[in-house]
Amino acid sequence: MSIRIRNTSAAQAPPSEPLKDDGTPYAYEMIDGWWRVYADDPAELVAELIPGYAAPAGEEERAAARLRLAVDFQVRLQARLAVDGNLDACTPEEQEVILADRAEPPAPPAWNAAVPLVLVTSHYEPHAPRLRPRAPAGAVIWLDPADELSLLTSLAGAGLIRLGRAA
């Protein structure tokens, strides 16, 4: 079971971490914009990001829901990087990849553009036949929906959420 509390503004002290009924702290804390969510299991945190995820469903349905969420975050983050980044420093070919529809995952052989490329691991080897682009560190941001914890840690690594161990 997870608990969601309203986050405070940066000018205010963070809210006190809630405790479970037995007086112990939750294992995880996730900060998603206006909300702080506390839970003992990564699946409970993912259920806060995906409506209906906690409903009884098989792993196949949950995997598909995690993939949809990863692609949604991919599109939003890539758009933000394109707007906030140095898109003008990219070649026309790089701009085309950055701005392309994500219905078909991009598959450049290499990536070293001024704007990072956001990709979802499920669309590339070893999960799919598409090769991962060769890229220096930081040139590609990978979102990994393989399981709940990998999804959350990759979203946190991309700066989309904050994830940590509760106190």
Q: What is the rounded average pLDDT of the residues 131-141?
A: 97
Band of the pLDDT at 166, cuts 50, 70, 90?
low
Confidence of residue 15 (pLDDT cuts 50, 70, 90): confident
Same-domain check for residues 46 and 75: no
Residue 108 structural domain: 59-158
What CA–CA distance (Å, rounded) separates 104 from 132?
14
Say if residue 65 is in the same domain as residue 124.
yes
Residue 40 CB neighbours (<10 A): 16
pLDDT at 7: 85
> Are β-strands 28-32 and 140-143 bridged in parallel, bridged antiparallel, or unpaired?
unpaired
What pLDDT is stored for residue 12 in this prediction?
84
Q: Is the pLDDT of residue 56 over 80?
A: no
Interacting residues of 166 by C-beta distance below 8 A, sequence separation 6+? 17, 25, 26, 27, 28, 29, 38
Residue 39 and residue 71 in one domain:
no
At 121, the amino acid letter reads: T
What does the alpha-carbon distance between residue 93 and residue 115 come to, in Å, rounded to a whole number?
12
